[in-house]
Amino acid sequence: MDLKDIGEFGFIERFAHQFDHLIKNDDSGIGDDCAVLSVSDTTNHVVSTDLLLEDVHFLKDRISPEELGYKSLAVNLSDIAAMGAKPLYSFLSLGIPKNTKVDFLDDFMKGYYRLSEKYNTPLMGGDTTKSPDKLLINVVVVGVVEKSKMHLRSMAQTGDIVCVTGFLGDSGGGLKAILKQMDVDTDIQELIDRHHNPKPQINEGLFLGKEKYVHAMMDISDGISSDLRHILKASGKSAKIDVEKIPVSTLLRKVAKNHNWDITELGSSGGEDYELLFTMEKEKFASLNQAFLTKFGKAIHTIGEIEEGKPEIIWQKNGKPLGNRKSGFDHFK
């Protein structure tokens, strides 16, 4: 059997539950955006870790070192936001090719520092080693959340609406332009900038997290077609999603029209937007959306509903059934 037959998540499932009996009652490990470590009757610490490898997660000649430092921390902060938690500390480990310029590393750290300072999250340690060829970056972030305000992927309830905190597909569009080595005009550059400068939804996560009627939450790293399935599997529910309701920016619509891109495809399966995906009680939507709009200057978008059934997405277009869509990003498939 090859890794590509089972994929990233098939591999993780092969060993994940072996450790269950070693995990204390109030803690939880593999399977959510962060591990959950109970530190008191009322408080949890949450821990996220992500690996970025040159030529897999980034192309060194396309992203600036400052953006790379920023993004390495941002993707981890996004997982902290997904729990409704506040970041506390970070750790940074690097495998560095010998010929790397110190200027490059200084700029990398400048970007890392910029985001650390923004969320008052100091770098507390890490490790540094030589790498034979490619730059390797691993970040760990520790956060804190009141137990009553924590949001797991398993919390979706039948009748909930499915919501996202912003436009989807811009980052995927930027990546597409990079990979296709397209000529870079101002519009394409803006999409590439979105891909390189994701905004972790920390304050949005804290805002949503304090509401009891907000249920499951996660961040969108692989695209909703893959990420929502994780919520459905963890919650044992099904979801009906309308592709016409997936929020796509005016910018992406314009570029997609010019270059014949499928915006539905990018909106549902393009990854790395790092917006939050969550489910909530339908009746509370109007007031929550109003408060969110006032506080953050952007709207929450409703894309579908949670139902009883197999943990699969039932895709619709304007209320009519649609076939299967591509299932988001998996490293090995």
Q: Give the binding site for ligand ADP (CB under 6 A).
A: 12, 30-33, 50, 79, 221
In the complex, least distance from residue 282 CB atom to ligand ADP, rounded to whole angstroms: 26
Of the two residues 204 and 242, which places its CB atom closer to ligand ADP in the complex?
204
Q: Which CB atom, from 81 or from 255, has the smaller least distance to Mg ion?
A: 81
Number of residues in contact with Mg ion, rule: CB under 5 A? 4
Nearest-CB residue for Mg ion: 33
Binder among 67, 219, 275, 305 for Mg ion (CB under 5 A): 219
User: In terms of CB distance, is 207 or 274 closer to Mg ion?
Assistant: 274
Q: Which is nearer to ligand ADP, 236 or 295 (CB)?
A: 236
Q: How many helices (H) and strands (E) does the chain have?
A: 10, 12
| C-beta pairs of 157-160 under 8 Å, 24+ apart in sequence | 157/215, 157/235, 157/237, 157/279, 157/281, 157/306, 158/237, 158/306, 158/307, 158/308, 159/281, 159/282, 159/305, 159/306, 160/215, 160/216, 160/279, 160/280, 160/281, 160/282, 160/305, 160/306
Nearest by Cα to 198 from 333, 54, 52, 32:
52
| Residue 251 or 328 having the CB closest to ligand ADP | 328
- Sketch the per residue contact string, 45 through 84, with Mg ion: x for CB under 5 A, - otherwise: ----------------------------------x-----
**Residue 108: Cβ-neighbour burial (10 angstroms; 0-12, 13-18, 19+):** buried
Distance CA 295, CA 201 (A): 13
305 binds, among Mg ion, ligand ADP, none (CB under 5 to 8 A by kind): none
Residue found by looking up tokens 């938690």 in the block:
85
In the list Mg ion, ligand ADP, none, the entry touching 309 (Cβ below 5 to 8 angstroms by class) is none
- Minimum distance, C-beta of residue 153 to Mg ion, in the bound complex (Å): 9
State in angstroms the smallest separation of the CB of 284 from ligand ADP: 26
222 in contact with Mg ion (CB under 5 A): no
Cβ proximity to ligand ADP: between 190 and 221 the closer is: 221
| Residues within the interface to Mg ion (CB under 5 A) | 33, 79, 219, 221
